[in-house]
Chains A and B, each alone.
Chain A
Amino acid sequence: MTLLKLKRLRTCFPTRDGLVKAVNTVDLEIGANEILGLIGETGCGKSILGMSIMRLLQPSTRIEGEIIYKGQDLLKLSEAEMRKIRGKEIAMILQNPATALNPVLTVGDQIAEAIWLHQTMTKREAREKAIEVLRSVKIPSPEKMANECPHKFSGGMKERAMIAIGLACNPALIIADEPTRGLDASTKEQIIKLMKEVTEEKSMLFITHDLDAAAEICDTVAVMYAGELVECAKTGDLFGKPLHPYTMGLLDSLPCRGLKPIRGMSPSLIDYPSGCRFHPRCDYASAICEKKHPEMVKVEDRHYVRCFMYL
């Protein structure tokens, strides 16, 4: 069953240098209980895609297409209706937990606020619920830590607290925007494990550039390049036999596979290269790649790729 469906989603915002086309005609589906990984280089539009779903970009941003969540188009909802979706139906876990917690409020209060923004309950009930959520993300002595301000939390604990805030209202979909950023390897491992546990009965859009993390947690992985999806497949298929040259390049750049970087720089989102957007950096590029823009093709069951090699 499909929980969230993006249909030809386009997000652009005007800047002084020109129109930034951050998300360009993306079609994507997240099923119930599915964890979808969205991977790609920095600046390819991953985070903007997440923010577009929440409709939390600057007012000058234009979002086109459809975002169908549980049968209704989020882009057609009023701001007040959208507020009821945020946090309760779709929760977002922000990157950079160090700044995403208010330094002057206790962590318990910040979790409780997520709860009573959407449910009517007394202060004490919300507090007890907050402690319960903190316990579920394995914060040691949650009763005590709920009374502490964020500066007493370590990086890993702040991330746990962020996850707790996301989980507080039991949303159906979680959008996690690089939750493992800035954490050391062992903490990262724990956070990934925790996220896997808490999202057992939920769907998640897991935005990351950490391929290991994506391989570990996701059911399906979509690869994004310059504002569009270039490959989408089940995790095993994608990492086992990547089809798109960009995906291959990403995998080859991992330390365990030889640390070979992809040549060139990721393109600006204002002026795309002509034809296939990846062709200037592609080792397999031919004449047609420069001229024509490839469409997404189905290669195998649930394995889609945007490349002329498979046409």
Chain B
Amino acid sequence: MTEKTIELTDLRRLWDTYSEKRIGVIGLVIMLVFIVMAVFAPYIAPHDPYELYNPMEPPGPDHLLGTNDIGQDILSELIYGARVSLFIAFFVSIVSGLIGTILGLLSGYYEHVGFFIMRIVDAFLAIPRLPLIILIAAFMRPSIWNLVIIFTILGWPITTRIIRSEVLSLRTRNYVEAARMLGAPDSYIMIKHILPNVFPLLVVRLVVEASHVILAESSLSFLGLGDPTAKSWGMILHYAFMYPTIYISDVWKWWMLPPGLCIVLTILSLMFIGYALEELVNPRLRGMTQV
């Protein structure tokens, strides 16, 4: 057997385990649809989202979801909106996850480092999340990058603390001791023996963080603290709510409902994926029958 076929069968086995959970497959399909939407937005969107047409047109063959109050095509806005929401979600969860994992590993493994890092974490955790975001967003010029930075700064301490608590328990396990008896250096033990064991926690944490970020971005945009020029779902909602007769006429059905559904579906799919992944990364649950 060559190396390549081993890898292929490994992937095959991973997929088999993952697909055992139907909920995970559903989540993955929804997420893939949004990712395709985000990546290929210029090719999929029927119009340029910044182009102005007749305002307040109801859905028709030319504009499937109608146009908004200044005449932009809502479907195109939605498709481009996936870009902003997903980019922020993935970027923030990966960066804060990375920082949190490294600091969590170090602070769990080395007691003195841990004490120092934990005091910093305490300081960050004491800050109430949403009020700070609102404050910073109000003072800084609203832009996507500012949001990314704020969310990352607020995200890493939680990940650090979660990873650390797990490492504290893992580093006293017998197999870590056993590895040390084989002459393994600390760095090796951390990467090879401890990291794979915090992986289940980390994956779930990343997914939760991603959905948090999407929600936070949407609520900020909705409050008008987002980037006014960016096409995000929260921003669409914001402008829709500002429209005076939004509840009286039928407009909400194609202006407010679709971005709301997009947000809900994205978060739901992230939750489904996290649920299925939890099983995948825990070898003891692998190959067990589904209830």
Contact = CB atoms under 8 A, between A and B. Distances in A.
A284 B283 CA distance: 57
A172 interface: no
Interface in A85-134: 85-88, 91-92, 94, 96, 99-105, 110, 113-114, 117-118, 124
A91 B182 contact: yes
A291 B179 CA distance: 45
B173 A104 contact: no
Contacts of B185: 83
B17 interface: no
B246 to A, nearest CB: 52
B173 A86 contact: no
B180 A56 contact: yes
B192 to A, nearest CB: 7
B174 A99 contact: yes
B113 interface: no
Interface in A220-268: none
B60 interface: no
Nearest to A111: B182
B196 A91 contact: no
B181 interface: yes
A92 B184 CA distance: 13
B174 A100 contact: yes
Contact of B181 (A56, A101, A103, A118): A56
Interface residues of A, number: 31
A88 B199 CA distance: 30
Contacts of B188: 117
A99 B173 CA distance: 7
Interface string A157-189: 000001001000100000000000000000000
Contacts of B21: none
Contacts of B183: 82-88, 117-118
A56 B177 contact: yes
Contacts of A104: 196-197, 199, 283
A151 B283 CA distance: 8
A149 interface: yes
A54 interface: yes
Chain B: interface residue count, which band? Answer: 20 to 34
Contact of A117 (B174, B178, B182, B197): B182
A217 to B, nearest CB: 21
B181 A87 contact: yes
Contacts of A102: 175, 179, 193, 196-197
B174 A114 contact: no
Nearest to B287: A152
B119 interface: no
Among B3, B183, B188, B199, chain A packs the most CB atoms within 10 A around the CB of: B183
A56 B199 CA distance: 27
Contacts of B175: 99-103, 110
Given A113-B192, A117-B188, A103 B182 contact: no
B280 to A, nearest CB: 12
A114 B182 contact: yes
B284 interface: yes
Contacts of B192: 105, 113
A156 to B, nearest CB: 18
Contacts of A118: 183
Interface string A52-95: 00101000000000000000000000000011111110011010
Nearest to B194: A102
Contacts of A56: 177, 180-181
B174 A165 contact: no
A88 B283 CA distance: 30
B10 to A, nearest CB: 9
B178 A94 contact: yes
A12 to B, nearest CB: 20
Interface of A: 54, 56, 82-88, 91-92, 94, 96, 99-105, 110, 113-114, 117-118, 124, 149, 151, 162, 165, 169
29 contacts: A54-B181, A56-B180, A82-B183, A83-B185, A85-B183, A86-B181, A86-B182, A88-B183, A92-B178, A92-B181, A94-B178, A94-B181, A99-B173, A100-B177, A100-B178, A101-B175, A102-B179, A102-B193, A102-B197, A103-B175, A103-B283, A105-B192, A105-B193, A113-B179, A113-B182, A113-B192, A117-B188, A124-B3, A165-B178
Shortest 3 CB-CB distances between A and B: which pairs?
A: A87-B182, A86-B183, A99-B174
Given A100-B175, A165-B178, 12 more contacts: A82-B183, A84-B183, A86-B182, A86-B183, A87-B182, A99-B175, A100-B174, A100-B177, A103-B283, A113-B179, A114-B182, A169-B182
